[in-house]
Chain A
Amino acid sequence: MSNRQPAETTPLIPRNRDVHPVAYDPNYKTSVTRSPNFPLLAMESTVTEETGPVFNQNKLGPLDNNLIMNWTQGKAPAVGERILMHGRVLDESGRPVPNTLIEIWQANAGGRYRHIKDTYFAPLDPNFGGCGRTVTDENGHYQFLTIRPGAYPWPNRANDWRPMHIHVSLFGSGFGQRLITQMYFQGDPLIDLCPILSTVKDRAQVDRLVAPLDLASSKPLDFLAYRFDIVMRGRRQTMFENKPEGM
């Protein structure tokens, strides 16, 4: 065995579970059998959570963050209201999270996903796939060009509809920072009726998932912009880390 030195990683700040959704919520029926009964076993992060996958940015293609064009490889644009989705990724200390991978996926303008399990009769758009990916720049900024997804009905209570939303997956630099969330759109009346969004019990946290219209970043005669800033779990950085316990 080589290199058996103590890891030179920094500990993750313990997650504040109060800002996250509850696991069990009868109004979101599937959660009833998919939520653990036992409490989570909480402890300090280890080297396993403090390290995480490293991506080669050169693997990203030029259209990967352009959902209007990536499905047809630039041949024809998708149908729908053209939007820029953009924002910054920060950690809990307010530091930018640079060079981190963001993946998104969404329904088309009619509320239909390109997925064999989606049986909603709204039609597929032959020019829209529905996924994209990018990497934040050195200041934590990211951008996607896409179309505004439609709302769609889903089997839960008898007449539940998802508000317009885009699914977002983020990495950070440690596996323990992994996060999936959803971005909603300012002014959508379905927001207050959504049983998935209301698994988040802290109203201020719900509001932070709703992206405002950002007219200043819109391009006249081309696209509207919505701004979605994201905060990821951070790391503790005092000068007293990385010492044997009790020293």
Chain B
Amino acid sequence: MTQKLDTLQETASQTAGPFVHIGMVPTYAGLGGIYEEEIGTSTFSDGAKGDVIEITGTIIDGAGFVMRDGMFEAWQADANGIYPGQDGVDPNVSGWARVCADPESGEWTLRTIKPGSSVNRDGKEQAPHIAIWVVARGINIGLQTRIYFDDEDNSGDPVLSRIEHKHRIDTLLAKKTEDGKYRFDIRLQGEGETVFFDM
């Protein structure tokens, strides 16, 4: 026998289900007006410093089908790489938004400020990126991934450098399509499967 640890176990996750929008994006679900102010509508407000960019994409399941019900949350630093809650953050950047697939086409768009590179506890610099947390019916625990940018220097990024199958890094790169516009598709399973994290 030994002493008993007094640490607790995390409560088990459960799927967000098909009706997640009621609770997280009520206006999208048809419950507009139930709250005076809905949260997560944009990562920034007027006056935020930096370049406004638009990332468009889809969420695709293992059958190659574009999901109409998928949604994700985005979390990012400001243009200087400082996160909300840290000293010196741009007061016009909340850094967080909820993004839903279009119920007809399945396409989503995230309009945001291009984040700067950020610095970890150990002083290592991360390339500019946006953290993504995907939830939907059929996903039992939210899937963590990241959007990096193909027009940035990602060579020193401590997370990307941990990916052993180098060709899979490509699944985390938003591709520039024109000035200020990027394309990023999330593939849950199978060919071209997006790298998902546990971190």
The distance in angstroms between the C-alpha atoms of A163 and B74, with both chains bound, is 31
A173 contacts which chain B residues (CB < 8 A)? 85
> Given A61-B35, A103-B24, A231-B11, A34–B61 Cβ distance below 8 Å?
yes
> Given A46-B158, A59-B36, A231-B11, A36–B189 Cβ distance below 8 Å?
yes
Partner of A1 from B17, B81, B139 at Cβ < 8 Å = B81
The distance in angstroms between the C-alpha atoms of A202 and B15, with both chains bound, is 16
The distance in angstroms between the C-alpha atoms of A50 and B8, with both chains bound, is 20
B-facing residues in A213-240 (Cβ within 8 Å): 230-234
- Among A40, A101, A103, A199, residue most surrounded by chain B Cβ atoms (within 10 Å): A40
- Band of interface residues on B: 35 or more
The stretch of A77-85, A115-123, A185-193 that contacts the partner chain: A115-123
Name A's interface SS: loop
A233 contacts which chain B residues (CB < 8 A)? 10
Q: Does A42 contact B (CB under 8 A)?
A: yes
> Given A53-B94, A117-B18, A179–B10 Cβ distance below 8 Å?
yes
Q: Are B37 and A7 in contact (CB under 8 A)?
A: no
Q: Are B119 and A7 in contact (CB under 8 A)?
A: yes
Q: Does B193 contact A (CB under 8 A)?
A: yes
A64 contacts which chain B residues (CB < 8 A)? 35
Q: Are A117 and B12 in contact (CB under 8 A)?
A: no
| Contact mask for chain A residues 1-38; partner B; CB cutoff 8 A; 1 contact, 0 none | 11111111101101111011111010010111111111
Chain A: minimal CB distance from B7 (Å): 5
A-facing residues in B44-101 (Cβ within 8 Å): 61-63, 65, 67, 69, 73, 75, 77, 80-88, 94-96
B141 contacts which chain A residues (CB < 8 A)? 20-21, 23
Partner of B22 from A53, A114, A182 at Cβ < 8 Å = A114
A196 contacts which chain B residues (CB < 8 A)? 14-15, 140
A-facing residues in B83-123 (Cβ within 8 Å): 83-88, 94-96, 103, 116, 118-123
Q: Are B199 and A46 in contact (CB under 8 A)?
A: yes
B37 contacts which chain A residues (CB < 8 A)? 59
Chain A residues packing against B (C-beta within 8 Å) = 1-9, 11-12, 14-17, 19-23, 25, 28, 30-38, 40-55, 59, 61, 64, 70-71, 90-94, 101, 103-105, 113-118, 129-131, 133, 167, 169, 173, 175-176, 178-182, 196-197, 199-200, 202, 205-206, 208-209, 230-234, 241-245
